């Protein structure tokens, strides 16, 4: 039987909650979204949360709300999903990559300063696989150069580092509820911020730049609305929010199950020749989003095909962004530009990882991994 790469955790309660929305008259952004946003902000310890249609949309709107656009540079990591850098391009700005740490794959905070120019407006760190970047160091640097911080927290709703929660030191933090993320509505995203004006701008920007939401127009009497800004159509709807509310309540339980599965994998994979796991640094609460192993580059692709032939779902997170065709051709990037990210990109393989995996399956996957590697 196939061992899936990912299985979501939608249960009957979640389905019931969606049904309730479907039987109501109001499907789009309304009370259920408001309820989710409130719970999400509370979980994060943030003042505001704004529900949108994806993390890509969240990143795009955050950049716009923080006045980042044409002529500006945003420092980010090449070791991420292409959405991170694409959002910078959507905003009309230019992503400037900085290489990552060998031990964690996270943006190397010690290399950021050398990449700052007169045009740099923001830093966009990604908390890779669920491990937070060194936000204290990055915040200090951002303060010194008057830069904004937007966190790509698509992997790391649950993480903290040295007492700092995800999003706490940022101007905005962006989350994904895409199909394979820790909690999911198929597609979906959110932004957290502690700034009232930024939150207010984001609420308008997610709905064309209109100063009244659909719920206002529906629950209250019709009144004329205006459009002070040019926005996008990125608003989360009640159906998505209904799917998320129950998962948010279970988020710590789900996290605990993944943490157990992580330990199980560590145990099963340790001591295999030529295999290295990334490190969880002291002081980090790792959100345990993706379980990756690093193998010799010359063996990686054969391992990918071999495991898939044996009905085990695997993936690569990630081949570095700067080497994707569009980035190479448009910006002239080539191999050697960010050697640490490139090395991880050639070695990394992601194994099946989600709360409902059991120990026997993890041992089985690890055994197949071992056999196909050698
Ligand atoms: C999934 C992901 C995104 C994009 O999320 P969407 O909700 O699909 O737009 C962005 N950044 C990272 C690091 C991701 O893993």
Final residue in a domain of this structure, among 218, 249, 280: 249
* Domain at 54, CATH number: 3.40.640.10
How far, in Å, CA of 226 to CA of 53, rounded? Answer: 23
Between the CA of 11 and the centroid of ligand 1 the distance, in Å, is 23
Q: Both tokens of residue 96?
A: 């400037």
Q: With a 6 A CB cut-off, is 81 part of the ligand 1 pocket?
A: yes
For the segment 342-360, what is each residue's pLDDT rounded down to a tens digit?
A: 999 999 999 999 999 999 9
pLDDT the model gives residue 220: 78
176 lines ligand 1 (CB under 6 A): yes
Does ligand 1 lie within 6 Å of residue 56's CB atom? yes
Which residues, other chains included, contact 44 with Cβ-Cβ below 8 Å and sequence gap of 6+? Answer: 157, 165, 166, 167, 173, 192
The parent domain of residue 235 ranges over 12-249
Residue among 233, 201, 176 nearest 64 (CA) = 201
Asked whether 87 lines ligand 1 (CB < 6 A), one says no
| Span 207-240, pLDDT tens digits | 999 998 777 777 778 889 999 999 999 999 999 9
Residues 85, 173 within the same domain: yes
Q: How far apart (Å, rounded) are the C-alpha atoms in residues 279 and 130?
A: 12
For the chain, the C-alpha Rg in angstroms (whole number) is: 21
User: Does residue 7 lie in a domain region?
Assistant: no
Verify whether residue 279 is a known catalytic residue. Answer: no
Model's pTM, two decimal places? 0.98
Total of domains in the chain: 2
Q: What span, in angstroms and rounded, lies between the C-alpha atoms of 185 and 224?
A: 33
End residue of a domain, out of 249, 284, 306: 249
Which atom, in ligand 1's list, is nearest to the CA of 58? 9
Low-confidence ranges of the chain (pLDDT < 70): none
Ligand 1 pocket test, candidate residues 60, 78, 88, 152, most atoms within 8 A of CB? 152
Q: Both 134 and 237 in a single domain?
A: yes
Give the end of a domain, one of 226, 249, 272.
249
Beta strands 164-165; 172-176: pairing state: unpaired
Residues 144 and 287 grouped into a single domain: no
């Amino acid at each position: 039987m196939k061992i899936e790469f990912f299985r979501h955790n939608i249960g009957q309660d979640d389905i019931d909650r969606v049904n309730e929305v479907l039987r109501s008259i109001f499907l789009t952004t309304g009370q259920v979204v408001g309820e989710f946003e409130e719970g999400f902000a509370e979980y994060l310890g943030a003042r505001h949360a704004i529900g949108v249609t994806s993390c890509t949309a969240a990143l795009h709107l955050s950049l716009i709300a923080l006045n980042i656009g044409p002529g500006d540079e945003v420092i980010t990591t090449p070791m991420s999903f292409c959405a991170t850098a694409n959002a910078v391009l959507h905003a009309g700005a230019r992503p400037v990559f900085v290489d990552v740490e060998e031990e964690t794959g996270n943006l190397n905070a010690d290399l950021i300063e050398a990449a700052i120019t007169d045009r740099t407006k923001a830093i966009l760190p990604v908390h890779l696989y669920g491990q937070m970047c060194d936000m204290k160091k990055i915040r200090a640097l951002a303060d010194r150069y008057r830069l904004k911080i937007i966190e790509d927290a698509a992997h790391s709703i649950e993480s903290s580092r040295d007492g700092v929660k995800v999003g706490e030191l940022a101007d905005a933090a962006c989350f994904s509820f895409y199909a394979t993320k820790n909690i999911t509505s198929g597609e979906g995203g959110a932004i957290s911020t502690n700034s009232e004006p930024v939150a207010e701008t984001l609420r308008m920007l997610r709905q064309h730049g209109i100063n009244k939401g659909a719920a206002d127009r529906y629950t209250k009497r019709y009144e004329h609305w205006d459009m002070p800004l040019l926005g996008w159509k990125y608003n989360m709807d009640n159906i998505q929010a209904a799917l998320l509310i129950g998962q948010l309540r279970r988020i710590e339980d789900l996290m605990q199950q993944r943490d157990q599965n992580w330990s199980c994998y560590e145990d099963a994979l340790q001591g295999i020749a030529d295999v290295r796991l990334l490190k969880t640094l002291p002081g980090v609460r790792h959100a345990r989003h993706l379980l990756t192993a690093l193998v010799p580059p010359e063996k990686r692709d054969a391992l990918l095909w071999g495991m898939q032939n044996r009905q085990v779902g695997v993936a690569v997170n990630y081949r570095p962004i700067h080497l994707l065709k569009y980035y190479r051709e448009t910006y002239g990037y080539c191999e050697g530009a960010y050697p640490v990210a490139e090395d991880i990109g050639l070695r990394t393989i992601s194994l099946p990882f989600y709360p409902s995996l059991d120990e026997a399956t993890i041992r089985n996957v690890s055994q197949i991994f071992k056999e196909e590697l050698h």
